[in-house]
């Protein structure tokens, strides 16, 4: 099953295709900023029944170079079958589009990133037929951006950096720099970044830190995650109000009842329980349908 962090690591290049130019500079490769970008179908399935899909595929054009195809793969762990698939992608893309392909692999784990970097030879050792050399972006080579001034220089690169450094001990400083800049960033630009980072962090501890930072620093945003966080905060507050009211009225609340109240995130249900708690003689009456 494809995870949200997997999606964020490659979809960011669909939203900000010019990001590849910044990433390539970090990786020590000179690709000119594109003057034209087109997101292409990612289905590389041939006439055979085997389905093959690259995560993201874009065509990049620049003033001083031939157009190229950029295939982006988000890789969560080592997979011995992937190099052969990547080699197939490169050959297929060259054959179909007659444009030179570049493969960028994005990772959040250093060992996976170093594995993905290869190079991998195909063919007998005495005469390899071809060599696969992906570009790899991961925690081993993406900058740790904790200075808001650096974030402002390239929001897309800073966003990818935050995603690839999800396990970094300094991730708190990285995320704080992001919210500092997003406070005065137009909402139409900030909202997609908020969502991408939320998806990219997945279920890691940094995700909860990000949610809290968004709730405090970016409380005026109306993005999905911001609304979700504010709803959770209101639910927690209402649950505390119910428990406090029952306590003041001397109503016994068992551990199970307390868990039921504090784990509820439906504001409408909590509202009904609060109204009943004003006059109920027991928690059974509070929960009555």
The Cα-based distances of 237 to 50, 221, 223, 234, 256 in angstroms read: 52, 20, 21, 5, 19
Q: Where are the beta strands (DSSP E) in 127-231?
A: 130-132, 135-137
Interval 135-140 mean pLDDT? 95
Torsion angles phi and psi, residue 56, rounded to 5: -140, 140
Position 149 scores a pLDDT of 96
Helix axes 4-15, 187-201, angle to 10 degrees: 150
Position of tokens 């890691």? 204
Q: Structure tokens of 59? A: 């065509």
Q: Is the confidence at residue 73, as pLDDT, over 70? A: yes
134 falls in which pLDDT band (50, 70, 90)? very high
Rounded distance between C-alpha atoms, residue 182 and residue 217, angstroms: 9
Round to whole Å and give the CA distance between 277 and 241. Answer: 10
More confident residue, 206 or 64: 206
DSSP state of 189: H
Give this prediction's pTM.
0.68
Each residue's pLDDT tens digit, 219-267: 655 555 656 666 666 778 788 888 988 888 888 999 989 999 988 888 8
Cis peptide before 251 (omega within 30 of 0): no
Separation of alpha carbons 75 and 138, rounded Å: 10
């Amino acid at each position: 099953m494809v995870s949200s962090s997997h999606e964020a690591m490659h979809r960011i290049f669909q939203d900000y295709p010019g990001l590849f130019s910044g990433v390539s500079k970090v990786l020590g490769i000179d690709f000119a900023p594109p003057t034209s970008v087109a997101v292409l179908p990612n289905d590389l399935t041939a006439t055979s029944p085997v389905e093959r899909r690259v995560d993201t595929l874009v065509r990049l054009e620049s003033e001083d170079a031939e157009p190229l195809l950029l295939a982006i793969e988000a890789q969560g762990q080592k997979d011995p079958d992937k190099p052969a698939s990547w080699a197939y992608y490169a050959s297929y893309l060259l054959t179909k589009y007659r444009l030179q392909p570049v493969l960028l692999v994005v990772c959040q784990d250093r060992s996976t990133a170093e594995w993905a970097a290869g190079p991998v030879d195909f063919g007998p050792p005495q005469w390899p037929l071809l060599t696969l050399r992906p570009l790899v972006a991961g925690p081993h080579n993406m900058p740790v951006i904790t200075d808001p001034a650096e974030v402002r220089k390239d929001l897309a690169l800073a966003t990818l950096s935050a995603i690839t450094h999800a396990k970094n001990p300094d991730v708190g400083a990285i995320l704080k720099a992001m919210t500092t800049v997003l406070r005065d960033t137009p909402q139409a630009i900030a909202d997609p970044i908020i969502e991408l980072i939320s998806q990219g962090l997945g279920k890691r501890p940094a995700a909860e830190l990000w949610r809290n930072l968004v709730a405090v620093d970016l409380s005026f945003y109306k993005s999905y995650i911001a609304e979700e966080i504010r709803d959770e905060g209101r639910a927690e507050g209402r649950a505390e109000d119910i428990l406090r009211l029952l306590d003041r009225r001397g109503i016994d609340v068992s551990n199970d009842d307390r868990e039921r109240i504090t784990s509820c995130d439906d504001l409408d249900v909590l509202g009904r329980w609060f109204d009943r708690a004003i006059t109920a003689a027991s928690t059974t009456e509070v929960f009555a349908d």
